Amino acid sequence: MVRFCLRRLLTLIPVTLGVTFLLFSLLYMTPGDPALLVLGPEATEDALREFRREHGLDQPFLVRYGRFVYNAVVHQDVGRSYITHRTVASEIADAFPVTLTLSIGAIFFATLMGMIFGIICAVKQYSIFDNVAMVFAMLGIATPVFYLGILLILLFSVHLHWLPSSGFDTPAQRILPWIALSSVSLSIITRMTRSSMLEVIRSDYIRTARAKGQKETVIIVKHALRNALIPIITIIGIQFGHLLGGSILAESVFSIPGVGRLAVDAIKSRDYPVVQGAVIYLALAYVLINLLVDILYTWIDPRLRTRYR
């Protein structure tokens, strides 16, 4: 198990390299001169040249990439923001907890409600609850985060004045972003739980449990849910990754100072080091979540344990 984790952690290296390389290429091809954007249109030609030289922007692509990797690996330094001059690490350290709170809250809500709804739908297949829930799940999947966010703000902030429309410090400020961000995942987890449970409920070992005279609720939780959990966990892991990415949208709509907004603002001002830092963090988080999911698999399903020795 430990070796399995170490092996998986080693994959972080190529993943990070790949992500940064891709990002470097994209930024390289994006039009827009950071020097001009940072120093403003009145800057002299000399000042611009000096800025480019200082930040290595006059170097060829591969040299810039090589330097970035060298600094990151040897000095654990991913640079400073062109604009605030703070280190990227501290910029991220400020923003990351916010994003994490946002996405963990959202995935928690989506998982809890999605599994409860999914189980009820499966146990009462074709009931009114099931039909209504499936319609809402379709709507939930089809509604983009930013659109739902705006609708929620219009309804709960502008019309009803129940909840604030921006910020992320008080619990009241967190409710709308959490709902907006989790709705797609909630819908997908509900549908996955439902179909996975439906499949398991029909299996022979559930009938065996019934033949023992076991109570129906115990059968659902102890026998069925555990077996249904593998695909559900997979989906939750994938959704958590999406949420981290999707938090960019929620952060923009609700003006939340998270990594997503940091990245978007940095892209707008061509603040390359911050963009790189933000994306690397999101990529690392994604890989770590997947590792966590794989560890959860082996905990749930004994058949997988031998495979990961």
Partner 1 sequence: MDQQQRENFLEIRDLYVQYHTDTGLVKAVDGLNLSLAGGETLGLVGETGAGKTTTALAVMQLIASPPGRIAGGSIFLQGENLLKKSKEEQRHIRGGKIAMIFQDPMTSLNPVLPVQEQIAEMIRLHRKADADEVLKKARDMLSLVGIRPERGSEYPHQFSGGMKQRVVIAIALACNPTLLIADEPTTALDVTIQAQVLELMRELRQHFNTSTILISHDLGVVAELCDSVAIMYAGRIVEKADTKNLFRRPLHPYTQGLFRSVPDLTGNVRRLDTIAGLPPDPTNLPPGCCFASRCNIAEPDCSRSRPSMIEGETGHFAACFKLGKRGGV
Q: Which positions lie near partner 1, rule CB under 8 A?
A: 202-205, 207-215, 222-223, 226-227, 300-303
Cβ atoms of 100 and 271 within 8 Å: the answer is no
CB of 106 to partner 1, least distance (A): 29
Handedness of CA 298, 302, 307, 309 (dihedral sign): positive
Output the smallest distance, CB 128 to partner 1, in A.
16
Vertex 133 angle, CA 127 and 136, to 5°: 145
- Nearest to partner 1 of 53, 303 (CB atom): 303
* Shortest CB 127 distance to partner 1, Å: 12
Q: Given the complex with partner 1, which of 268 and 303 has the nearer CB atom? A: 303
Composition of the chain by helix, strand, coil, percent to 5: 80, 0, 20
Contact 183, 143 (CB under 8 A): yes
Closest listed residue to residue 141, CA positions, set 250, 239, 240, 254: 239
Q: Nearest distance from residue 290's CB to partner 1, in Å?
A: 22
Distance (Å, rounded) from C-alpha 80 to C-alpha 89?
8
Report, in Å, the least distance between residue 306 CB and partner 1.
Answer: 9
Which of 154, 221 has the CB closer to partner 1?
A: 221
The pair of structure tokens assigned to 106 is 């959202």
**Can you tell me the distance from the alpha carbon of 117 to that of 190, in angstroms, rounded to the nearest whole number?**
6
Min dist. Cβ of residue 129 to partner 1 (A): 17
Closer residue to partner 1 (CB): 152 or 229: 229
Q: Which long-range contacts (CB under 8 A, 24 or more apart) does 67-70 make?
A: 68/20, 68/24, 68/276, 69/17, 69/20
Q: 209 vs 253, which CB is nearer to partner 1? A: 209
Cβ proximity to partner 1: between 62 and 211 the closer is 211
